[in-house]
Amino acid sequence: MLRSIVTGGIVSLSLCATAWADDPSANFVTRLFINVCIPNVDKPDNVRAWALERKLSAVTAQPALDVFVGPGDRGAAWALPTSYGSFALAIRGTTQACAVYARAADPADVESDFKKILDGVARPGLVVKIVQDTTTPGASGTIHTLIYSVANVGEEQQVNLYTLQTAERAGGAFQATLQAAVYHQGSGQPDR
């Protein structure tokens, strides 16, 4: 039920053309997040099927897998080159979170889109809150991490976590990532 409420709110928001940023790369990574990660937040097999149906190229280079998949042996990543730039879709190796990456995208536009999505799903019966909002210095400038949790009222022990991470400047492996995972309080990390 939680997934359907969040997905419904996000789909409704995505129909509003004025809601999105001007940067085509920011729009692409956001729409990829909406179309793939949100409806499949707890279904990594569906993410794999989505990538297969579109005949996406698997990422096989170990340095790229280290970035997009991370530790663990249950993940995978696919490249999505477009006229807007280079993007990746991934299933994280340990958590099985769905993640999308943009090599270059306006960080302010990606953040604005992300906030519109999560702030837009707030309604009675849902608890939507920011659980982390930090900035840290990095090789590509300031790294901003913003994590929202979304849960049904009274069921806050199981939440969906939606994570944004942006870098101030392009030049690294990615400038923006959006991720979706299921988390049970007390487990120490997202499920799967």
Q: In this predicted model, what pLDDT tens digit does every residue of 69-85 receive, in sequence order? A: 999 999 999 999 899 89
Q: Pick the more confident residue, 16 or 171.
A: 171
189 inside domain:
no
Number of domains in the chain: 1
Helix (H) or strand (E) holding 26: helix 24-32
131 inside domain:
yes
192 inside domain:
no
**Of 17, 1, 19, nearest in space to 118 by CA:** 19
What is the token pair recorded at 25?
């790369």
13 inside domain:
yes
Amino acid, res. 20: W
- Domain limits at 139? 2-184
Report the DSSP beta bridge partners of residue 127: 151
pTM for the model: 0.88
pLDDT tens digits, residue range 134-149? Answer: 999 998 999 999 999 9
120 inside domain:
yes
Amino acid, res. 157: Q
